[in-house]
Amino acid sequence: MSYPVIVVSMTAAPLRKDAARNWHRIVEVGRRLVEEGTPIQLNDVARAAEVGVATVYRHFPTPEALVEAIAVPGLEAQVARAEEALAGDDPWVSLRDFLYAAVEAQITDPSLPPVFASAESALPRTAELKERLVGMFGQLLERAHAAGVADPAVTTADLVPLMCGVMFAATVHPAPSAPDRVATARRYLTVLLDGLRTR
């Protein structure tokens, strides 16, 4: 099996094939643990990935760094979704659909909520992606304000905790399946957006 070249940060050199193989094994074990809801212990990850403990710590010095690496594809997908929304013609539809996609991603990808909830980032790539997302979210809201379709008194700083409230409300009494939780989150988000929209 061949492995793609992995770059661990924006400035790091590409990993050798053996190191890339170990990186993938560690991340896959970590992903499985996150999906199971099992707290990550790096020693346990090393055992399950059949690599040395030092190898795990060399790639991921903390459990948070491993969770962030797992979350990167989801963060990149959200950035791509935000770019697509900014290219849309209708400011309200763009904002609404981006927020729908955001709540769905956080419910279906368990690595995303802890990364978004953390004030500090362990990896430069995570920090960069989160900063880009916040910036593009602000641009989407500004476009909606400029078009007169969103309450100008509501800011990005207001919407971020409100979105967290939607996520909490959708998961505090978990539905039996992810699609049900997504539907619940969308319903609560629709209520929030109805309050935001001006007519």
Cα distance between residue 66 and residue 24, in whole Å? 11
* Domains (range + CATH), the chain: 17-61 (1.10.10.60), 71-196 (1.10.357.10)
State the pTM of this model. 0.85
**74-108: pLDDT as tens digits:** 999 999 999 999 999 999 999 999 999 999 999 99
Lowest mean pLDDT across 16-20, 22-26, 172-176, 188-192: 172-176
Q: Given this model, what pLDDT does residue 140 score?
A: 97
Cα distance between residue 135 and residue 131, in whole Å? 6
Sign of the torsion angle spanned by Cα atoms 144, 145, 151, 154: positive
